[in-house]
Amino acid sequence: MAALINNTKSLWRRSTKLKDGPLDSTKPGTGEEVVTFAVIGCGQRGKSYTKYALSSPDRCKVVAIAEPRPKTQKQFAALHNVDKTLVFDTWQDLHAASAETISTIGKRLADAVIIAVQDHLHAEVAVAFAEQGYHILCEKPMATSIQDCLKIETAVKDAGMIFGMGHVMRYSPYSQEITEIVRSGNLGELINVVQVEPVGYYHFAHSYVRGNWSNEKASSFSLMTKSCHDIDLLCHWFYPATPVKVSSFGSLKHFRKSAKPKEAGNATRCLECPMEKDCAYSAKKIYLDPVSHGNTGWPVETIVDGLPDIENVTDALKNGPYGLCVYESANDVCDNQVVNIEFSNGSTASFTMVAYTSAICERQTRMHFSQGEIIGDMNTFTVSDFRKRTTKVHRPRSEGGGHGGGDTGLIRSFVEAVSATQQDLLGTDASEVLKSHLTVFAAEASRKSGTVVDCVAFEREAREKLTLKANNADS
């Protein structure tokens, strides 16, 4: 621990322009300092968020990590040149080390934590590090239960720390240009939005049939794990109006054993299936064939620890969940769902999430204003002004990176917010994030109950339950 403390002192000095002593981490300062990150979870999302630290080392730096997979941990630590004393196997180890340095020298290991662990862990990790005074960037969703979302909101507010949510779609140049038009009022009042998320047939098979988000009990329902992005965008565009009523319908329609082709027989894995070549969801087609042609990015990079080569991928398909027949997997989340929302100003929105598309997450949006219309596909959008009788195609700049530049936009905004200690630079806060999540929970409650859900009453009841639980715990 002495080595850790000495190394931490050295890192603070190198991360600031101050000559004497470490950065006062209780006040990140004027925007001149390098914002330091502790990354918890070094998988796909952890890597995506920290690319900005590699391209803009004058703005931010990864100084500590927690990752249980040894090869992934080693690669990530090497990529960001993280000192070995600040590399941990679990978030609990990192948290304990942070507690030691706080008690010993009054400093945290970093300015902020990036939480990119599995969804069901978000609340536990976020609350623990908020209590230690870290700013937090949490991958979506906020949490997998209403009570855990409420706990995060409370912890962040009590700590007074900056909170960022992985709703990256808000931060892409495409979405920001559309938002600017909405806020300008140039097309009149926004009255209705129709949003479609085409998840992608093999993306859904990868993530929501074979992958980490396939089972509601182990993770959450698919509207939350996949489409809280979209509900958040709808709430963002209609703000300050808020959702008042929501209804939803959906099901697991195709990815179930009853849909398994007879020609597949008793085969449970793609590599042993007699009709693998004729199956759209063949694991060989999705993972092994691309690797054989040198394509080692998503999704194949996510199924192995370390290098995604032929040997490792073949082993994963023979022994792991990603090689299972999609009709034999233990998935139970919806593969198609629709949501209807009424807002407090009388405006409406509809959203469709569907697995069976060739497009991969390229949202289709139609926005209807009192004086115009916007039609977009996440790459370009067309604005029609009814008063001027004009139509103009917009092609937002491409910044590269994930989600149309949204990954970069979010992390850049988070760094700016932490540097200036201004939550509003993120354009949202924990309470607004909570409200959009509650709308998602309400939509799923509607789907399961077959009723229209009153969003105001739904939130009130959720808060009352948390208060009652807290009072019972104190008594």
Ordered by start, the domain boundaries in the chain are 35-161, 170-255+332-400+429-471, 262-319
Tokens, residue 51: 């690319």
**CATH number assigned to the domain covering 170-255+332-400+429-471:** 3.30.360.10
Tokens, residue 292: 């054989």
- Select from 425, 350, 442, 448 the least CA-distant residue to 35: 425
How would residue 457 be classed by pLDDT, with cut points 50, 70 and 90?
A: very high
**In this structure, which topology does domain 35-161 adopt according to CATH?**
Rossmann fold (3.40.50)
Residues 236-243, mean pLDDT to the nearest whole number: 97
Whether residue 462 contacts residue 153, with contact meaning beta carbons closer than 8 Å, is answered with no
**385: enclosing H helix or E strand:** strand 381-385
The DSSP code for 331 is -
pLDDT at 33: 84
Strand ranges of the sheet holding 112-115, from the earlier edge strand across to the other edge = 87-88, 60-66, 35-40, 112-115, 135-138, 163-165
Tokens, residue 229: 């992005």
Q: Answer whether residue 179 shows pLDDT above 50.
A: yes
| Domains 35-161 and 170-255+332-400+429-471 fall in the same CATH topology | no
pLDDT at 361: 92
Residues 6+ apart with CB under 8 A from 314: 271, 288
In tens, the pLDDT along 53-111 reads 999 999 999 999 999 999 999 999 999 999 999 999 999 999 999 999 999 999 999 99
Tokens, residue 256: 């179930």
Residue 283, classed as helix, strand or coil, is helix
Whether residue 138 contacts residue 111, with contact meaning beta carbons closer than 8 Å, is answered with no
Lowest mean pLDDT among 22-26, 296-300, 457-461, 471-475: 22-26
d(CA 196, CA 183): 22
Q: Which residues pair with 338 in a beta bridge?
A: 249, 352
Sign of CA dihedral 184, 186, 189, 192: negative
Query: At 474, which amino acid appears?
Result: D
pLDDT at 466: 81
d(CA 421, CA 24): 13
Which residue did the predictor score with more confidence, 8 or 219?
219
Whether residue 48 contacts residue 402, with contact meaning beta carbons closer than 8 Å, is answered with yes
pLDDT at 468: 83
